[in-house]
Amino acid sequence: MTVNEARERELQNNRPNIFPEIVYLDAPAALAWLADAFGFTLGDVIQGPNGTIAHAEMHYGAGTVMPQSPLEESEFGMSPQAPGGVTQRVYVAVKDPDAHCERAKAGGAQIVWGPADTDYGARMYSARDLEGHIWSFGTYWPSPAPSTGVAERRRPNVPQADLP
């Protein structure tokens, strides 16, 4: 293995590797709403037929979510407005949940819990977005699993570098 290959492997191992896919009936509106209400920035967008979004990436710090339009040919591409309700929740670590909550409220988010302190030392709130998806924002920062395969819990009140 060359030095460049080893460095690329190291980068791959230290980058986030979980990317929630979130289905919206009006994905183009969701992209704008996620930016305005929650502070995400727009990444790649692949247009689908008839004004739909086949794939998009929205970034917040080192994290990425992938909003898309419903996939009519698959049971895995449904909105929570379809029968069955909310099918996922996304957690995003932030420095100041209270300020973030105020921004979300101003952007039209429905706050469903908090901001509040948790029994494990984090401060969090949860909100519904424009189509009913539940999002949680807080100071808890999950740690990557060490080589033992067991995740180490970090204290949320310890400042985290590069936290948005």
Query: Per-residue pLDDT tens for 85-98?
Result: 555 778 898 999 99
Q: Is the pLDDT confidence value at 157 over 50?
A: no
Q: What is the mean pLDDT of residues 135-163?
A: 54
Asked if 72 and 55 touch (Cβ cutoff 8 Å), the reply is no
3-state DSSP assignment of residue 102? helix
Q: Is the pLDDT confidence value at 117 over 70?
A: yes
**CA distance linking residue 131 with residue 109, whole number of Å:** 10
pLDDT exceeding 90 applies to what percent of the chain? Answer: 44
Domain annotation for the chain: domains and CATH numbers: 3-70+78-138 (3.10.180.10)
pTM of the model: 0.65
Q: Is the pLDDT confidence value at 27 over 60?
A: yes
- What are the residue ranges of helices labelled H in 70-122? 97-106
Provide the 8-state DSSP code for 51: G
